[in-house]
């Protein structure tokens, strides 16, 4: 194996390790809608191994008001990663996650 091939393989391995470390830092972060509404907490990450990317975030400790009709009895939900708008100290997701309340429920 040539020196350049070996160096390339090491760089690729280091890059994968860094990505894996970045992904694991998502676990435990709180998730909010872009409107500032608490959605839940990241419990796990769904990966697309073929594409080598995150495809979803599994949320637990859900906001019961948002998921009352959707996740009854469920331990959590998986949100498509394409809904993620920003990742920092918290994760912001598109406000599509917020479900409009039925006006009859408020009477």
Residue that wins the pLDDT comparison between 106 and 30: 30
Annotated domain spans of the chain = 3-106
CB 41 within 8 A of CB 22: no
Q: In sequence order, which ranges of 1-107 are alpha helices (DSSP H)?
A: 3-24, 64-67
Q: Predicted confidence band at 74 (pLDDT cuts at 50, 70, 90)?
A: low
Please give the pLDDT value at position 4.
45
Q: Where are the beta strands (DSSP E) in 49-106?
A: 53-60, 77-80, 84-87, 91-93
The pLDDT of residue 11 is 45
The answer, as to whether pTM is greater than 0.75, is: no
CA distance 78 to 11: 32
Q: Which fold has domain 3-106?
A: SH3 type barrels. (2.30.30)
């Amino acid at each position: 194996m040539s020196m350049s091939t070996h160096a390339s393989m090491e760089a690729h391995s280091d890059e994968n390790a860094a990505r894996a470390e970045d992904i694991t830092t998502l676990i435990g972060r709180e998730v909010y809608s872009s409107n500032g509404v608490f959605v839940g907490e990241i419990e796990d990450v769904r990966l697309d191994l073929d594409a080598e990317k995150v495809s979803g975030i599994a949320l637990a400790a859900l906001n019961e008001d948002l998921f009352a009709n959707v996740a009854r009895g469920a331990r959590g939900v998986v949100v498509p990663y394409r809904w993620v708008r920003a990742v920092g100290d918290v994760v912001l997701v598109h406000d599509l996650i917020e479900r409009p309340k039925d006006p009859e429920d408020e009477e």
